[in-house]
Amino acid sequence: MEPVDHPVGRYALEVVAGDETAGDLVWLACDHHLLDLETGAAGCS
């Protein structure tokens, strides 16, 4: 993935990497956000 130059994207990367503490639902939301950035939301149902 390309470097993220936005605070929300950086936060999502930190959460998914385990560098930032977050609950399960926040982790899932961050993972979904990063997937959307990669796929252009095409992978969403």
Q: State in Å, rounded, how far the first CA of the chain is from the last one.
A: 22
Average pLDDT over residues 5-15: 93
Report DSSP state, residue 20. Answer: S
Higher-confidence residue: 16 or 37?
Answer: 16
Domain boundaries, the chain: 7-39
pLDDT interval class at 29 (50, 70, 90): very high
Q: Is 21 exposed, middle or buried (0-12, 13-18, 19+ CB in 10 A)?
A: exposed
Confidence of residue 18 (pLDDT cuts 50, 70, 90): very high
What is the chain's alpha carbon radius of gyration, rounded to the nearest angstrom?
A: 10
pLDDT band, residue 5 (cuts 50/70/90)? confident
